[in-house]
Structure 1
Amino acid sequence: MVPGCSLLLAGAVLLSSSVQAIDTIPTDVMDRVRANAIASSSKSWENGTLARAITELDHLSISPFEPDFLPPWSNNESSAALSTLAFDALASKVEEFGFLSLDGSWRTTVNGTNLQLVPDGSAGDPASLGEVVIWANQTGQIFREPGKYSIAAESEAYYITTLAPRTSDGAISHRTDDVQLWSDFMYMVPPFLAYYAAMTSNTTMMKDAYDQCRLYRQYLKTDSGLWKHIQLGRSGQDPMNWGTGNAWAAAGMMRTIAIMRNSPLNSQYTTEQADLQIWIEEIMLGAFSHQLTTGLLHDYPDNRTSFPDASSTALFAATAYRLSAYGLSSRWVPFAEKAYANISAQLQASSDGWLAPVVNPLAWGVRGSESPEGQSFVMLMEAGRRAWRLAGSTNETGPTGPLEEDESQTVPASS
């Protein structure tokens, strides 16, 4: 186990007081946020993130943050949105093999990428869809044939653990055609490995979920606690500490903790969970030390020349609430509440339900207009905050550097 948080937080400045109580985002506003997320998400990671957000916000009984999230599930736990996401994930397989041929023949394909849930240049992103496919398989939400698509999730797990490129020490590549590590990977793959391991009581795969977090941290962590965005590979590296990439990493490790804790394998992985918490808090400290007075973070948190980004800020806030709701740490709640207040005000001030300002998800240093993943991040933030409130709304003071001034103190309008 790595050194404790007492060393991590040494020398930090304490906030003088907790933030004041903030009203929740109104239901009609969240409805617009959700509708935009569903309408705009199309990429594998967007749909996988959306599926997890819908689960956490609307279907708590199957959320891995709940104690009894594992099957058997009731067929009455239906969701048109989740069913559509699962069906879309399998559409290419259905077209290639037919409804009645989804069997082990997937493994006989020459190109291992055919084993992925969806064809993708990323080795990691399709794994984010694994949980919703498992749910649809178990409950018969696709064609009302329970068990029909178990091979789909199994083949995805087989590809990730056996065929995807790796570094010499075992870190799974985020890309299919090169060994390249992205901080984004942390939200896509370790939670899926942990989820599949919990479903099948696979201790080897659960350990691999942890090991991927450990290895990625070794490659990407900087002295500030923040992680570099993209390392290794022939081209396309991003050695800077991209905000969304760091938020992906922290949220992915938080989700992995939840799955470990609520699985039958919990007692075997208490040390690993403690490590994951420390690694999350390293990132949180590195990010929130640069929180703007508006509550937002820069697109690159430690680069004041980059623009404020509500997208990554929302996902950081979601993780802060989950840490507190789980009784692990409430020191980040004041920062989350400051972020929540800004995002809530912006969404209520707009009429269309789009989060702003946001980074272009496909151009990391460029301001965007609409972000599908950003919409899902708001849903994850709201779900996390609801869990925090149900757990008693613990609201401690927390460590940070001085808040940075933003050039614009007004609530940003939707673009």
Structure 2
Amino acid sequence: MEQTSIMVEETRLRRVKQALLGMQRYSWEQGVAAQAMLELGDEETAYLLARDAVIRQDSSGKLGVMNDAYSVTDSAANGEAVLRIAQTTGDSLFASGAARMLDWLIKTAPRTDDGALYHVVDKPEVWVDSFYMAPPFLAYAGYHNHAVLQMEGYRTRLWNPDAKLFAHIWDDGEKKFKRDAHWGVGNGWAVAGMVRVLAELPDSMQADKDRITGYLKATIDGCLVHLREDGLFHDVLDDPESFVETNTGQMIAYAIYRGVSIGALDVTYTAHAERMRNAAIAKVDDRGFVQGVCAAPFFDRPGTAPEGQAFHLLMESAARKGMNL
């Protein structure tokens, strides 16, 4: 890569990162930000984010709570960063924080009869978002079977075999969908979560790895059917009346780059990832905001969001590693 191009890329990533760190963040947003720092190799910033997640841990054990204690799994997005800092520093603050988060997930958190964690504390609802929030942390922490159980529970309830996409919310009390829309970012959470779990599962669980790899491929293939000419997706993947959205492409590109790097996906998928990546890069403004993502705080319109910033960084980190840049 030419020196000028490298400088342009570094400036863009610095601005995206700075804009992310300037945003207010809920628990899962703090977590995905910390994960982005880890994958960029910026352990100092990951330390700072992980520390505040522990400082804002509530009495239940949930990390990074900022008026979002209603969530069951969102706070677990902080888990890997907190545990990794515990492992590298030996600091009991982080070790205790990670242990309490795990205790909530494994022993206390509300769940379905077959063990799939609910997404909110006061309703028996399973959300596609949870694919990313809890299972990767469980897998990283060595609770591999627990991570696989979550993946299976979510897929059983949310997968639409006809559309080859995930629906958003299942009401396990009513045994029906509360929201059956094939939300783009929701499917992005699913593939990003699956590829992170796959990266942590041991070879002794090859049958589980093969099965989840199949789920990953099927979801990405289902999404690619709806990829627009401009490299973006609609907010609801199969609803062209919904707004055009940026973050879904970043999330799927991230999953493809990482999936190829661990051997879960064929290298031919990279061409699709490059289309999505280029479209996302074009959406970064002069201040470093990734424009057109499903916007915080209500996610019902295009705009900006911490998770959109974080996934730009995650996508770029995965792309660089995959292309040896």
Give the alignment's TM-score, normalised by structure 2: 0.90
The answer to whether the aligner puts 1:43 opposite 2:7 as a matched pair is no
The answer on whether the counterparts of 1:165 and 1:178 sit within 8 Å (CA) in structure 2 is no
CA distance in 2, matches of 1:169, 1:245: 22
What is the match of residue 220 of structure 1?
A: 158
Secondary structure at the aligned position of 1:26 is classed as helix
The C-alpha deviation readout for 1:222-279, integer Å capped at 9, x for no partner, is 022210111116799321010001000100010001112xxxxx12211111111110
The answer to whether the aligner puts 1:115 opposite 2:61 as a matched pair is yes
CA distance in 1, matches of 2:310, 2:24: 9
Deviates more, 1:83-92 or 1:269-278: 83-92
The answer on whether the counterparts of 2:254 and 2:319 sit within 8 Å (CA) in structure 1 is yes
In the TM superposition, residue 336 of structure 1 has moved relative to its aligned partner by: 1.1
What is the match of residue 276 of structure 2?
A: 339
Task: Report the count of equivalent residues.
Answer: 313
What is the match of residue 321 of structure 1?
A: 257
The answer on whether the counterparts of 1:247 and 1:316 sit within 8 Å (CA) in structure 2 is yes
The answer on whether the counterparts of 2:157 and 2:170 sit within 8 Å (CA) in structure 1 is yes
Deviates more, 1:115-124 or 1:222-231: 115-124
The answer to whether the aligner puts 1:147 opposite 2:83 as a matched pair is no
In the TM superposition, residue 173 of structure 1 has moved relative to its aligned partner by: 0.7
The answer on whether the counterparts of 1:186 and 1:213 sit within 8 Å (CA) in structure 2 is yes
The answer on whether the counterparts of 1:251 and 1:319 sit within 8 Å (CA) in structure 2 is yes
What is the match of residue 389 of structure 1?
A: 323
Q: 1:34 aligns with which of 14, 17, 27?
A: 17
What is the match of residue 246 of structure 1?
A: 187
Change (3 A) 1:207 1:31: same
The answer on whether the counterparts of 1:57 and 1:380 sit within 8 Å (CA) in structure 2 is yes
**Structure 1, unaligned runs of 5 or more:** 1-22, 60-77, 97-112, 198-204, 261-265, 392-415
What is the match of residue 164 of structure 1?
A: 109
Q: 1:183 aligns with which of 124, 128, 148?
A: 128
The answer on whether the counterparts of 2:247 and 2:294 sit within 8 Å (CA) in structure 1 is yes
The answer on whether the counterparts of 2:139 and 2:200 sit within 8 Å (CA) in structure 1 is yes
In the TM superposition, residue 136 of structure 1 has moved relative to its aligned partner by: 2.5
Q: 2:51 aligns with which of 78, 87, 90?
A: 87
**Structure 2, unaligned runs of 5 or more:** none
What is the match of residue 128 of structure 1?
A: 77
What is the match of residue 287 of structure 2?
A: 352
Q: 1:207 aligns with which of 136, 145, 163?
A: 145
The answer on whether the counterparts of 2:54 and 2:93 sit within 8 Å (CA) in structure 1 is no
The answer to whether the aligner puts 1:229 opposite 2:164 as a matched pair is no
The C-alpha deviation readout for 1:201-237, integer Å capped at 9, x for no partner, is xxxx211101110111010000222101111167993
Greater RCO, 1 or 2 (C-alpha within 8 Å, sep 6+): 1
Larger radius of gyration: 1
CA distance in 2, matches of 1:335, 1:148: 42
Root-mean-square deviation (CA, aligned residues, Å) is 2.1
CA distance in 1, matches of 2:78, 2:231: 31
CA distance in 2, matches of 1:139, 1:167: 35
Secondary structure at the aligned position of 1:149 is classed as helix
CA distance in 2, matches of 1:303, 1:337: 24
**1:267-282 aligned within 5 A:** 267-282=203-218
Secondary structure at the aligned position of 1:291 is classed as coil
